[in-house]
Structure 1
């Protein structure tokens, strides 16, 4: 088992390899270092003494010999020493898929996400490396290359392979934005799980090289997802007495949502169209702010959700399922047409100072909205709504209240007809999901519109509160939110079918 030096020189007369007997071995750079070790006997009982090498130095040979001796007692590890990571990933995926088909394994959405991680990143990046040779540096190199995707940086060999795969995947357009850290974490989870299985189940290698590559930030233990509660009459009454909101996630009834939208429109709130779209179809805040004009087709009545904005940077959608299109009803199309005309007027008024960011929703000068600004405007409207009702309780006249809050008398009249309890801006999304389900829209369609990873997730989170709301919902999409001075026309063109896209 001791390392030795040998070469491939041959005897000039016999033509036999000289191996360890070559007289030139003492010279620097001549030959290489080898070693043999005792491996488990073959299936027919024969002795096996595999040779490893050549290595440039004795130290390298000893290090590799140590690794081999660490797994030599395991016949499977020896038999699998030429298995590549790509081969093992495929084998493992086949096992997991067969388990899912029996109803005992992973959900289809989880398997699809794993398949994508393998096809787009792990196989092209590291699939050619032998499983026993994979180390933490290989893994870090893959993640570094992923961070360079869609960035104007020098292309490495691993980056070239990743980009070639993305350019041809199923003929579909893939995100043109840089890969987010959350997506790299999801790929890491797949790789870490596979290497854990290779170590603890398959016994191919003694350790998991992915351990410690991505350290958790620690902190509080993650709690379960908070499910929404409906602002029923009883809960509203208790909130008026105590000021305590029953739960973190609260959802308006259809009447309350309609009152808010009527108030925002009557108040001549500039971003009313964004609130309308969110209340009806529930895109995430970042998706609203990141939506580009080229992704909105009012003629085809579709909004394509292709990206999201977090803080000041555009990113891909929260999940792959978030990459979707939303069908629009007649009323929403009308609202967005009015919004488009308003933006044209603002462009004319600003003239050369106008900075067109190409977004559906923007500031008056055309620049891209900050996500928090949308939430801020939402909070201001709800606070104004409550303040108007407070002044009305003090016997202020409608005209005086309108002057006080610099709003219209129509907005004051809307606020006086119904109590509006508080919710967060993100809860408009929860409300849209709840009302769509309560209105009888197909669960699969609702899941696709919202960009959820699975139908079961949609039903699990929203089914209970939707049942609570069901009595108030008598028709679908645009008709299920009651609006002031409007007659909802329910027709074939205004109701997207559950099959949808």
Structure 2
């Protein structure tokens, strides 16, 4: 048995993704053809029929290839698979796996002289993707060093629970319209495209569930990053309260816009109901961080709270929140890393965290986040809704030193 078949040398998450590509698409689509007989046309036909999967209107004249693909995807491990159409991103990933397998057949096994997948789908650039950068925690020492030098210590940084709580309090006090999206991301870590692509019909506040079925990249809806991305995110009571208030706000906006309202059925949208652009969410996040930093800078120059509030057109309550804590820079996507880190540090079961984040495997979750979660563990004493300390909770508990969620 070859290394490719055993998965020797591969991370478990990579192995699972490659097996998924082969079991659901490669074998049922092309497994009946000898490797030496495969041509580029076989692969083009495979990808063409993959695009038809779960699109009933295109099943009137099923090819034998499409029938095999549908049968393979009907169920797996006793569970019925999702019903979303196959997106271009998944087809590209399947192609990458099949291309790699055929490359081995040419260079290692010497089964055939050429790779029939070459040129079927050309990838951008020729650089090999580097390994995943693991997150690093913004400890007090690292924050102090950054404040002196301006140098960010690592590519991927995550906030401590105190820092994350301060940001959410600041966004809330600033009356940021998209605060609910930031809240959901900080607590449960859906990807940006999943936040933007989430549809109202897949959110049940009463059942405390958000079903993640799709993702949006630029202007196009696509399936999630992996099969594991199709998942349900359980919601705590506070997150449910935030989302319920958000729904009421959207109803008020709908009434205000009247006939001009363009309801696209998304959980998070612009005021006129249109779907958000993914970059807009990141832009609002950066604006909040810049405002937080500017408020602190003006305060260090001696400006009173009232003047700062007028300067940045923000409530005085938000200014007071910003003055409580330094917020070192992170990217919007790092809220997802922070959610994973804080859930693990709070003692939540690794398997549960992996499922909530939509990771391919538990081992991947532990491999990426174990070290930084260990650093953070002293800051987390409660689970899920209570792992981010918030100002109104701290007032409620008085002298208690137990952090609690909002």
TM-score by length of 2: 0.87
Work out whether residues 149 and 159 of structure 1, in 8 Å CA contact, stay in contact via their aligned partners in 2.
Answer: no
Partner of 1:389: 296
Work out whether residues 142 and 158 of structure 1, in 8 Å CA contact, stay in contact via their aligned partners in 2.
Answer: no
- Deviation per CA, 1:175-220, whole angstroms, max 9, x where unpaired? 423422x322332344345545666777765654334544443344
Q: Verify: 1:361 aligned to 2:361, yes or no.
A: no
| Residues 383 and 119 (structure 1), Cα distance of their counterparts in 2 relative to 1, 3 Å cut | same
- Deviation per CA, 1:115-166, whole angstroms, max 9, x where unpaired? 4334432344333434443222222222233345466769672564366436
Aligned to 2:314, the other structure's residue is in SS state coil
Bigger CA drift: 223-232 or 324-333? 223-232
Partner of 1:456: 363
Partner of 1:86: none
Partner of 2:212: 305
Partner of 2:48: 144
Structure-2 separation of matches of 1:296 and 1:217? 36
Look at both structures and tell me which one has the larger radius of gyration over its CA atoms: 1
Partner of 1:403: 310
Pairwise CA RMSD of aligned residues?
2.9
Q: CA deviation at 1:235?
A: 1.4
Long gaps (5+) in structure 2: 398-403
Alignment of 1:136-175 (within 5 A): 136-149=40-53, 157=63, 160-161=66-67, 164-165=70-71, 168-170=74-76, 172-175=80-83
Whose helix fraction is larger, Structure 1's or Structure 2's?
Answer: 2
Alignment of 1:318-467 (within 5 A): 318-467=225-374
Work out whether residues 203 and 209 of structure 2, in 8 Å CA contact, stay in contact via their aligned partners in 1.
Answer: yes
Q: Verify: 1:117 aligned to 2:25, yes or no.
A: no
Work out whether residues 25 and 94 of structure 2, in 8 Å CA contact, stay in contact via their aligned partners in 1.
Answer: yes
Work out whether residues 148 and 159 of structure 1, in 8 Å CA contact, stay in contact via their aligned partners in 2.
Answer: no
Bigger CA drift: 321-330 or 147-156? 147-156
Work out whether residues 139 and 210 of structure 1, in 8 Å CA contact, stay in contact via their aligned partners in 2.
Answer: yes
Give 1:476's match in structure 2, choosing from 383, 389, 395. 383
Structure-2 separation of matches of 1:254 and 1:306? 29
Partner of 1:9: none
Give 1:251's match in structure 2, choosing from 158, 163, 178. 158
| Residues 246 and 197 (structure 1), Cα distance of their counterparts in 2 relative to 1, 3 Å cut | closer
Higher relative contact order (CA 8 A, sep 6+): 2
Partner of 2:138: 231
Work out whether residues 321 and 453 of structure 1, in 8 Å CA contact, stay in contact via their aligned partners in 2.
Answer: yes
Partner of 1:53: none
- Deviation per CA, 1:304-348, whole angstroms, max 9, x where unpaired? 111000000100001111111111111111111111111111111
Aligned to 1:486, the other structure's residue is in SS state helix
TM-score by length of 1: 0.72
| Residues 222 and 450 (structure 1), Cα distance of their counterparts in 2 relative to 1, 3 Å cut | same
Give 2:84's match in structure 1, choosing from 176, 198, 217. 176
